[in-house]
Amino acid sequence: MAFDFKKEYKEYYMPKNKPSIVEIPKMNYIAVRGTGNPNEENGDYQNTISLLYGVAYTIKMSYKGTHKIDGFFDYIVPPLEGFWWQDGLKGVIDYNNKKAMHFISMIRLPDFVTKEDFDWATQEATKKKKQDFSRVEFLTYDEGLCVQCMHFGSYDDEPATVNLMHEYMKENGYDLDITDTRYHHEIYLSDPRKCDVSKLKTVIRHPIKKIN
């Protein structure tokens, strides 16, 4: 049976719909940076998704080709994730001004995938799909201490969940620690093309620090 990150690391991917504090370890990702409204058809965000999955599935299917990855095991490609921010705003997202969004779209890589494996996959995807993958990068990120919560429903309704997270954070002696390198983080467990908006499941995660 293929390794499923969501099932094996439930503390990271399947939190309850009540806020909790979690320490996130260093992880490697396939990533693409961009700007603009994520809902814009054929916009920058939508175009990054095919780039991410193009490389992700090239790595997953590498065992069928000539490139051998040490320690490879069969796995389900982890869910799509995203860091989000807007210039001048820290700790909040203005959902009425989505054109001002900056993002880093990401898919987690298994630990056995090296930078060299990633470089091979990018070249292989470029060759096979005849598409430019130069925007795709190998990103190592150490997220650290965070507050997180499962959000159900529309992305536009996230502020209510975020407010609960911030209240919980304060009650437990933490401050928000969103900076130029620590971001509003979302993990998408549902496909909005196939799921009713009321049933969408999204992990929301914010970096925090202990109050001295």
All structural domains of the chain with their residue ranges: 5-210
**127 class by beta-carbon count within 10 Å (0-12 exposed, 13-18 middle, 19+ buried):** exposed
Please state which of the ranges 93-107, 147-161, 198-212 shows the lowest mean pLDDT.
93-107
Q: Rounded to a whole number, what is the largest CA-CA distance in the chain?
A: 54
pLDDT tens-digit readout, 27-70: 999 999 999 999 898 899 999 999 999 999 999 999 888 898 99
pLDDT tens-digit readout, 134-170: 999 999 999 999 999 999 999 989 999 999 999 999 9
Q: 84: part of which helix (H) or strand (E)?
A: strand 80-85
pLDDT at 90 > cutoff 70: no
CATH numeric code, 5-210: 3.20.80.10
Collapsing DSSP to helix, strand or coil, 131 comes out as coil
Contacts of 117 (CB under 8 A, 6+ apart): 59, 62, 67, 69
Q: Within 10 A of 27 (CB to CB), how many other CB atoms are there?
A: 19
User: What's the predicted TM-score (pTM) here?
Assistant: 0.95
pLDDT at 193 > cutoff 90: no
Collapsing DSSP to helix, strand or coil, 64 comes out as helix
